[in-house]
Amino acid sequence: MDGLIVCVSVSHRNTRKVADAMADVLDACVVEPEEVDDAMLEASDLAGASTCSVRSRVEGGTPGCRSGSSEG
């Protein structure tokens, strides 16, 4: 695996669509945060996450992010 994109997408799944498009260009794999493990991170040359989405889901919201919106 060359790249890893961690993505949380809810509602209309638009965030996942964008992550999938990025993954195609970057030769990356798209996974949910709960799927990530140390082996995946070690096998990746590039790893990225949508901070707003992940933090909103994990920490219950982030200032400046529209948590619970139809963005995802």
Q: Decide if 71 is inside a domain.
A: no
66, 2 contact by CB (below 8 A): no
pLDDT the model gives residue 65: 46
- Is 61 a residue whose pLDDT tops 90? no
pLDDT the model gives residue 66: 47
pLDDT the model gives residue 46: 85
- Per-residue pLDDT tens digits for 24-44: 999 999 999 899 999 998 999
**What is the reported pTM?**
0.65
Which residue range forms the structural domain that includes residue 23? 3-59
pLDDT the model gives residue 64: 47
Total number of domains constituting the chain: 1
